[in-house]
């Protein structure tokens, strides 16, 4: 197993040891089945967080911090050996998950390459050089004589990028220009007679290209093996885990109310106006308007309200009251009450159902007469604009939101709505309606000193 030790001094002057594996071969380790799944989920949190950051156009410095934070939060382990094992195992499990279609492979390749690029940069220059030799890159270190003759030009290139040719950068590598297309494209290297002169700090580009190319080929091979043997062999053990992993929602499940304790019936109207995301606002308005909701809507809104803190008795009272003009009390008890109690885990197999995440809500397609699903996905442009304006989103922000919608980034659209309505940023992005609610309440509380 090729692994390179590198050390990094954190801002508090403690040495952080991070080891960067190359994932060339699957390790001959024994893995517990739970670890198989949990390690993969933790790594997936890192990759999805990365993906989110890139989607939101974070600047390079912000991305660097994001990667570090994500890695520390999900993949760190006090024992270095354990950390390396988790790193390697999780990578290989996710290869199984993400090898299966072109789109999945593209996403995984992109995220793993980005992750690798950042982790490579954290390493010391010795560690970096060791990794480069692992990749057998066709580079040659530039001799002192050649360096002297080219010093002026190399200095010019550095200064054209706003840098200086420090003594440390006196180490240059000579590679065929074809090996570093992105450096050539950006005119960030001096080229002469087909050779590019790459500074040590640009070497990242070389290495990352190699990493990417290797992983790309490996994914195709993995897919073949998966389709031909693994999937069938493991159909009772690993296959269900693998197939579930790429669609899994990874955040908190909001089934237990958290900070804000209970919400009672009389509070609902108020919080609906201030803190409900658009999907729930819409359902709420429709219930008030039509005095009815079909099953999909009842589930989506009902579970959401449970997550918000509505207790069972209040929930029963709420629905009963709203349906009253169309459904008599007896009929309500007969036809609807059971399901509500079921949602709260008081009936049947007593599963305490969890409120739906954005991923789940976006994936459903509402039919005629339905009002659930994600409005950013399903509303017509006209209706969506009107709804956003009613929520108090400024016309400038509406355009930004619509832009995200056109590019099918529905959760980002919801995040921008949140930011526009509350006047504060939501860095983590919206992944769950109940998260929207909690964040909203937090913002309002800090503004007013009380829960709105």
Partner 1 sequence: MTKEEADNGRDDMVIDVPGQANAVPDGFNANYLRIYYGKLFPHADMFKWMSYGNDGKHPGCDKSYFGRREFSFTLENDIYIRFQSFNSVTELENSIKEKCPFKIDIGPVYSVDPAKRHAYAQSGNNVFTPVERELVFDIDISDYDDVRYCCTGADVCLECWPLMTIAIKVIDTSLRDDFGFNHILWVYSGRRGVHCWVCDGKARRLTNEQRAAIADYFHVYKGNENSQKKISLPGLVLHPFLARSYTEVLKGFFEAKLLPNQNLLASEERYEKILEMIPDASVASELRRRWQENKRASMSKDDINIVRWEQLKSILQSGKQKMQGLRRCVEEIVFSYTYPRLDMEVSRHMNHLLKAPFCVHPKTGRVCVPIDPNNCDEFDPTTVPTLSQLLEELNRGGLRQDAENEWDRTSLGESVAFFRTSFLQPLLKSCKEEIENSYNAKLQQSKNDLSWSHVSLKVLLKRTKPTFPSLQLIHQIPSMKWF
Q: Residues forming the annotated binding site?
A: 279, 358, 374, 414
Of 16, 130, 184, 265, the one binding partner 1 (CB under 8 A) is 184
Residue 364 makes contact with partner 1 by CB under 8 A: no
Residue 153 makes contact with partner 1 by CB under 8 A: yes
Selected range binding partner 1 among 42-50, 188-196, 273-281, 312-320, rule: CB under 8 A:
188-196
DSSP string, 197-259: EEEGGGHHHHHHHHHHHHHHHHHHHHHHHIIIIIHHHTTTTHHHHHHHHTT---S----S--T
How far is it, in rounded angstroms, from Cα 132 to Cα 210? 9
Selected range binding partner 1 among 178-186, 294-302, 317-325, 331-339, rule: CB under 8 A:
178-186
Selected range binding partner 1 among 43-51, 72-80, 185-193, 291-299, rule: CB under 8 A:
185-193
Residues 229-288 that bind partner 1 (CB under 8 A): none
Provide the minimum distance between the beta carbon of 194 and partner 1 in the complex, in angstroms, as a whole number: 3
How far is it, in rounded angstroms, from Cα 305 to Cα 320? 15
Nearest to 278 by CA among 384, 133, 148, 140: 384
Provide the minimum distance between the beta carbon of 163 and partner 1 in the complex, in angstroms, as a whole number: 9
Would you say the C-alpha torsion 383, 388, 394, 398 has a positive or negative sign?
A: negative
Residue 194 makes contact with partner 1 by CB under 8 A: yes
How far is it, in rounded angstroms, from Cα 347 to Cα 321? 22
Q: How many CB atoms lie within 10 A of CB 73?
A: 12
Q: Which residues are annotated as a binding site for [4Fe-4S] cluster?
A: 279, 358, 374, 414
Of 73, 125, 186, 328, the one binding partner 1 (CB under 8 A) is 186
Taking the least distance from each CB to partner 1, the nearer of 189 and 361 is: 189
How far is it, in rounded angstroms, from Cα 402 to Cα 375? 12
Of 48, 195, 372, 377, the one binding partner 1 (CB under 8 A) is 195
Residue 182 makes contact with partner 1 by CB under 8 A: yes
How far is it, in rounded angstroms, from Cα 303 to Cα 353? 7
Residue 162 makes contact with partner 1 by CB under 8 A: yes
Residue 227 makes contact with partner 1 by CB under 8 A: no
DSSP string, 162-196: T----GGGG-EEEEEGGG-HHHHHTT-SEEETTEE
Residue 100 makes contact with partner 1 by CB under 8 A: no
Taking the least distance from each CB to partner 1, the nearer of 117 and 442 is: 117
Provide the minimum distance between the beta carbon of 227 and partner 1 in the complex, in angstroms, as a whole number: 13
Taking the least distance from each CB to partner 1, the nearer of 180 and 426 is: 180
Of 1, 80, 141, 161, the one binding partner 1 (CB under 8 A) is 161
Binding mask 52-71 for partner 1 (x = CB under 8 A): --------------------
Residue 221 makes contact with partner 1 by CB under 8 A: no
Residue 160 makes contact with partner 1 by CB under 8 A: yes
CA distances from 82 to 269, 335, 362 (A): 50, 54, 37
**Token pair of 36 as six digits:** 């198989």
DSSP string, 266-325: HHHHHHHHHH--HHHHHHHHHHHHHS---HHHHHHHHHHHHHHTB-HHHHHHHHHHHHTT
Q: Could you tell me how far CA 233 lies from the centroid of its own chain?
A: 31
Taking the least distance from each CB to partner 1, the nearer of 189 and 280 is: 189
Nearest to 258 by CA among 78, 80, 441, 40: 441
Taking the least distance from each CB to partner 1, the nearer of 161 and 389 is: 161
Provide the minimum distance between the beta carbon of 195 and partner 1 in the complex, in angstroms, as a whole number: 7
Instruction: Quote the radius of gyration of the chain (alpha carbons, Å).
Output: 27
DSSP string, 70-107: HHHHHH--SSHHHHHHHHHHHHHHHHHHHTSSHHHHHH
3-state secondary structure of 341: helix
Nearest to 49 by CA among 359, 429, 395: 429
Of 81, 145, 167, 185, the one binding partner 1 (CB under 8 A) is 185
Taking the least distance from each CB to partner 1, the nearer of 224 and 331 is: 224
Taking the least distance from each CB to partner 1, the nearer of 190 and 376 is: 190
**Token pair of 154 as six digits:** 């190399």
Selected range binding partner 1 among 54-62, 114-122, 190-198, 251-259, rule: CB under 8 A:
190-198
Residue 97 makes contact with partner 1 by CB under 8 A: no
Provide the minimum distance between the beta carbon of 23 and partner 1 in the complex, in angstroms, as a whole number: 23
3-state secondary structure of 263: strand
Residue ranges binding partner 1 (CB under 8 A): 153, 156-157, 159-162, 177-178, 181-182, 184-187, 190-195
């Amino acid at each position: 197993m090729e692994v390179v030790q590198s050390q990094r001094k954190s801002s508090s002057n403690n040495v952080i040891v991070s080891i960067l594996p190359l994932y060339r071969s699957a390790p001959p380790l024994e893995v517990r089945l739970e670890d198989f799944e949990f390690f993969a989920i933790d790594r997936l949190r890192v990759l999805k967080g990365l993906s989110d950051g890139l989607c939101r156009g974070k600047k390079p410095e912000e991305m660097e911090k994001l990667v570090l934070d994500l890695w520390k939060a999900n993949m760190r382990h006090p024992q270095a050996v354990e950390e390396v094992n988790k790193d390697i195992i999780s990578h290989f499990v996710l290869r199984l998950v993400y090898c299966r279609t072109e789109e999945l492979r593209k996403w995984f390749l992109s995220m793993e390459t980005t992750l690798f690029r950042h982790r490579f940069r954290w390493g010391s220059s010795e560690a970096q050089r060791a990794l480069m030799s692992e990749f057998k890159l066709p580079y040659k270190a530039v001799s002192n004589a050649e360096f002297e003759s080219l010093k002026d030009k190399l200095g010019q290139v550095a200064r054209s990028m706003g840098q200086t040719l420090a003594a440390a950068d006196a180490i240059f590598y000579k590679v065929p220009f074809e090996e570093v297309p992105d450096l050539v494209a950006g005119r960030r290297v001096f080229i002469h007679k087909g050779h590019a002169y790459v500074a040590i700090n640009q070497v990242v580009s070389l290495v990352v290209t190699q990493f990417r190319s290797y992983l790309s080929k490996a994914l195709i091979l993995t897919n073949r093996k998966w389709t031909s043997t693994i999937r069938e062999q493991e159909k009772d053990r690993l296959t269900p885990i693998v197939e579930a992993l790429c669609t899994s929602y990874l955040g908190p499940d909001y089934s237990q109310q958290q900070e804000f304790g209970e919400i009672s019936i009389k509070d609902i109207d108020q919080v609906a106006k201030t803190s409900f995301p658009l999907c729930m606002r819409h359902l709420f308005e429709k219930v008030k308007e039509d005095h009815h909701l079909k099953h999909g809507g009842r589930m989506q809104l009902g579970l959401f309200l449970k997550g918000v803190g509505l207790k069972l008795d209040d929930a029963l009272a709420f629905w009963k009251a709203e349906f009253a003009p169309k459904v008599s009390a007896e009929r309500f008890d007969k036809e609807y009450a059971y399901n509500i109690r079921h949602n709260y885990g008081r009936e049947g197999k007593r599963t305490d159902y969890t409120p739906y995440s954005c991923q789940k809500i976006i994936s459903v397609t509402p039919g005629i007469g339905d009002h659930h699903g994600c409005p950013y996905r399903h509303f017509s442009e006209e209706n969506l604009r009107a709804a956003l304006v009613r929520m108090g989103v400024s016309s400038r922000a509406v355009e930004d939101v619509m832009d995200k919608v056109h590019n099918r980034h529905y959760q980002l659209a919801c995040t921008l709505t949140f930011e526009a309505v509350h006047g504060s940023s939501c860095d983590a992005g919206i992944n769950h309606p109940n998260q929207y609610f909690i964040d909203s309440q937090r913002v309002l509380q800090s503004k007013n000193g009380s829960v709105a």
